[in-house]
Amino acid sequence: MSSINLPSFPMMVGTVRWCKLIGLWDGTGSARYHPRTLTLLLALIFWYILPTCMFVLRRQDRPLTLVMKAVHEVMAMTAFVLRISAHALSRSTLEKCFYEVQGALDEFARNGQLSEDMRKHLERADVVLARYYIPGNLFGIFLYGGLPGVLAIGRFVFTGYAEELPATVLEADYVLFDHQSNFWIWLPTLIVSVAVQYGMIIGITANETFCWNLIHHVSCLFKIVSARVARLDEFEEEEAYQQELEAILETHLVCYRSVCYLEKALYLQMAVLYSACVAVTCFVLFVVSIVDDLFLLAMMAFVLNYHVFLIFSFSVLGNELMDASTSVAEAIYNIKWYNRSISEQRCLQFMIYRSQNAIFITAGKFFKLTRATFMVAMKTAFSYFTIMQQLYAEE
Name the helix (H) or strand (E) containing 233. Answer: none
pLDDT of residue 252: 84
Report the C-alpha gap between 346 and 340 in whole angstroms: 10
Q: Are the beta carbons of 287 and 136 closer than 8 angstroms? A: no
| Distances from the Cα of 276 to the Cα of 1, 84, 269, angstroms | 36, 14, 10
Q: Where are the alpha helices (DSSP H) in 111-182?
A: 116-127, 134-141, 147-159
Query: 48 with 170: CB under 8 angstroms?
Result: yes
Which residues fall within 8 angstroms of residue 368, CB to CB, at 6 or more apart?
A: 318, 322, 360, 361, 362
- What 8-state DSSP symbol labels residue 357? S
3-class state of residue 45 by DSSP: helix
Amino acid 153: pLDDT = 87
Residue 109: the pLDDT is: 79
Structural domain total, the chain = 1
H or E element at residue 386:
helix 371-394
Q: What is the per-residue pLDDT for 196?
A: 92
- pLDDT in the model for residue 338: 66
| H/E stretch holding 367 | strand 367-368
Q: What is the pLDDT of residue 6?
A: 42
The whole-angstrom separation of Cα 300 and Cα 162 is 27
CA dist list (Å): 137 to 51, 131, 206, 286, 319: 24, 11, 11, 27, 25
Contacts of 6 (CB under 8 A, 6+ apart): 99, 102, 103, 106
Residue type, 263: E
Give the separation between CA 307 and CA 118, rounded to whole angstroms: 30
Domain around 57? 3-394
Specify which residues 368 forms β-bridges with: 362
pTM confidence score:
0.87
Residue of 149, 157, 153 whose CA lies nearest to 190: 149
According to the model, what pLDDT value does residue 42 have? 94
One pLDDT digit (tens) per residue for the chain, 395 residues: 444 444 466 778 888 889 988 888 887 767 678 889 999 999 999 999 999 999 888 877 777 778 888 888 898 899 999 999 999 988 889 999 998 888 888 888 787 777 778 778 888 888 888 888 888 888 888 877 778 888 888 888 888 777 778 888 888 888 888 888 888 888 899 899 999 999 999 999 999 999 999 999 999 898 888 888 888 777 777 778 788 778 888 888 888 899 989 999 998 999 898 888 888 888 888 887 777 777 777 777 777 888 888 889 999 999 898 888 888 888 877 777 666 677 777 777 777 777 767 678 888 778 888 888 888 888 888 888 788 777 766 66
What is the per-residue pLDDT for 29?
A: 66
Give, in order, the Cα–Cα distances in Å from 185 to each of 157, 193, 199.
16, 13, 22
Q: What is the pLDDT of residue 1?
A: 42
pLDDT at 358: 67
Specify whether the CB–CB gap between 299 and 109 falls below 8 A: no
